[in-house]
Structures are given as structure tokens and as C-alpha cells.
Amino acid sequence: MNYLIIVAFVGGPVVAGAWWFSSCQGRMQACYSSFRGAISGVDRLAQARQLSIHGGFTASPRMVAFQVPLGDGVDGIVLLDRVSEAQRLIATNNYTHWSPRLSMDGERLVFVRQMVRSEERELLSCEVITWHCSVLFRTKAALSSPVDVQNGDVIFSTTVQKANGSRGFDVFVVRKGQMPVRLTNYEAFTLSPISVGGNKIAFGAGGSRSLDSSPCADGKILECDMSVIYVLEFDPSTAKILNKPTTVAPRFTVAGYSTSPILSGDGKWVAFLNTNRKGNPWRYHMVVADLHGVVHDEVSVEGLGFSSGAFVDNSLLVNELFEDHYRILSVDLFSRRVTSMRLNHSPDYLKAIEPIVLAIDESPAMR
């Protein structure tokens, strides 16, 4: 219990939200109710927006997609065309959806869904052109952060049972028609988001004796620069983590508190959320650094909060939450040119968006 309190306090809204999101996947209605009052003076739907913005944001050369609360205790996935700004929505009746991620070429979207009042979650991979989808995996455990690594393999985070009966998160890989394979053994309290770039895999995680996240002296945790960002060697052709250490330290630590890493496609850059711990609540800005921890750029948050980032070629994209809309920023990392798209986030507006009808392959999925 002591560790839980420290995580929620030190990480501020982002880390507390990440814990809440991981523990509440697929039972959003109950969790929305239990979380009421946690953000004083903010209504239930506004709380849902503040928490779900960390649940998934993704981009490809053609589109962006992200998770949105629909106002009835379930989440959908909205897709915006980056050229025409046309909008479409995945919102299957009686299902909630989370953690969307586009493949690097934009041809597939992977995400997780769950029927309301069911305990079973499903990991789906859908062809974007036809919206024909395959169920890769079904489980009653928590699921998050699927990543399509382009060769039929999908990396994701799910819970495992520890020797003491409690649960922790680890990284797994699955492909259609095969059983999932466990890639890490860290049994983390949180583990999301995951990203793959070049020959690296990165993830944000905390709460495991195998993950060293706090170099701080006792009682000095608010004065200490911290990171919960981990980077390991990865072979995408075999979907294996190479030279896997038993105990792993954060890849780098920059000023402030850093979380929610996303790698560029070539694995040379990482974008992450960072706060200088000033103000209440903390303001999480988007930072771009190389894998040695040298900071090259920063995007300052102006609204209520940023999602995790997404790299597309030489641009960094991020979703920003405001009181009455979302703003998707695209920052060219060389010219610093910034473009944006806006989406009204009222439930009535979202539900009026053209729906996407999924064709689900009903063949048996792995469990």
C-alpha cells in the first residue's frame, strides 16, 4: 500500500491515470463511478476524458486514431484523415474499446475491446481498407498497449499472477492462430505504453523489484529527477528481446519526472511526457530526446494534458485535451512547422460521426 501511495503522488495525474487505466480496462462503467470525486470540481465525463487521453493515441502517414469516452460509460476509437480531416468512429454496440495503435505503414489497426458486463477482453487486428478484423487473443486478464511489428506479430501488455497471488504486468507477443509468448518477467505494477523502433523496444513501467526507477534518497522523492522509461534490445524479425537483463534501470534521466515513452520508427529518437514538478497539478510537456538522453526538442502543453506521442517520418504528433475539444498537433522536427486539427469531444458530436462497421473473424482465438 505504501508504494501505491507514492506512485500516485510522485507521478501526478499521468501516473495515477496510467495505474487507473491499466486496472480498469474493460470495466469502465464501474471504474468511472469509483473514481468520482478524485478530481475535485470536475464532472464524471471530464474525468473520463482526462484519463482516457492516456489510453491510446496513434498516427500513420494518412490518419490519426485515439480513444474517446462516448458519455455512456464506454469508449470508442475516432479516426481522422490527416489530409481531408474526414472523421470516422469505431463504436460497436455494447462494447468499450481502448489502446488503438496503427501499424507503421498504416495498413492495420490493433486495439482491445470488451463487451459491457463481460469479463473477457479481446485483442483485435483490423485491416484499415476493409475493416476485416481478426481476434488474436481472448483473456479475462487486463490488456493494453498492443503494437503491430509488421510481420504478423503483435506485442502487448497483460497481467500475470505472481507467486504471492497478486498480479503484475509483463510484455507478451502473439500472432494469429498461436498462443501468446511471454517476453519479460518483471511483473510490473504498471506497464504502458509499449513501442518498437529499429532494434529497440521501449516501455513505461513501475512497481517491480526488477525495475529500478528511483535513485532518490528517502524523503527526497519530490526533489529528485526520475524516469520510468526502459529501453531493451529487440529483434523484430523473431519478436524476441535480446540480452534481457534480470534487473533493468531507466534508460536515461533528464530534469524532472519522465514517463510514457514512444520510439521513432528507426529507434533513434524517443518522445515522452515530462514535468518539472512545479505547479499543482503538474504540467506534462512533450520532450524529444535521443537514446543517450540528450534533449533535442520540447512541445509545451497549453490545454489540460497531452497524450503519448507518435512519430511519422520527420514529424511528432500528439493529442491535446481542452475543455471543449481535442487538438492534434503535428510538429516537423526539422523545420519546427506546426500544423493542427481539431475535434469537438461532446458525446452528441462524437456519436454523429460516420460509424465504421467491423467484420469480425469469428474463428476461435487463443486464450
How much is the pTM? 0.88
What Cα–Cα distance (Å) separates residue 168 from each residue in 9, 18, 71, 97, 188? 20, 14, 30, 22, 5
Per-residue pLDDT tens digits for 143-188: 999 999 988 999 999 999 887 878 899 999 999 999 999 999 999 9
Asked if residues 322 and 303 have their Cβ atoms less than 8 Å apart, the reply is: yes
Taking alpha carbons only, the member of 287, 284, 266, 263 closest to residue 275 is 284
How many angstroms separate the CA atoms of 95 and 90, rounded? 10
How many angstroms separate the CA atoms of 293 and 308, rounded? 18
Strand order, beta sheet including 57-59:
57-59, 63-69, 75-81, 87-90, 354-355
- Write out the DSSP string of 14-75: HHHHHHHHHHHTT-HHHHHHHHTTSSTT--HHHHHHHHHTTT-EEE-SSEEEEEEE-SSS-E
What Cα–Cα distance (Å) separates residue 12 from each residue in 50, 76, 127? 12, 26, 37
What pLDDT is attached to residue 135? 95
C-alpha cell, 286: 512533450
Flag residues of the chain having pLDDT under 50.
1-13, 15-23, 25-37, 39-40
What are the strands, taking DSSP E only, across 92-239? 95-102, 108-115, 121-127, 132-139, 143-148, 154-161, 167-174, 181-182, 190-197, 200-206, 226-227, 229-235
Max Cα–Cα distance, the chain, nearest Å:
55
C-alpha cell, 123: 485483442
How many angstroms separate the CA atoms of 95 and 76, rounded? 8
How many angstroms separate the CA atoms of 178 and 26, rounded? 23
C-alpha cell, 101: 495503435
Q: How many CA atoms lie within 13 A of 306 on its CB side?
A: 27
Asked if residues 307 and 266 have their Cβ atoms less than 8 Å apart, the reply is: no
What pLDDT is attached to residue 67? 96
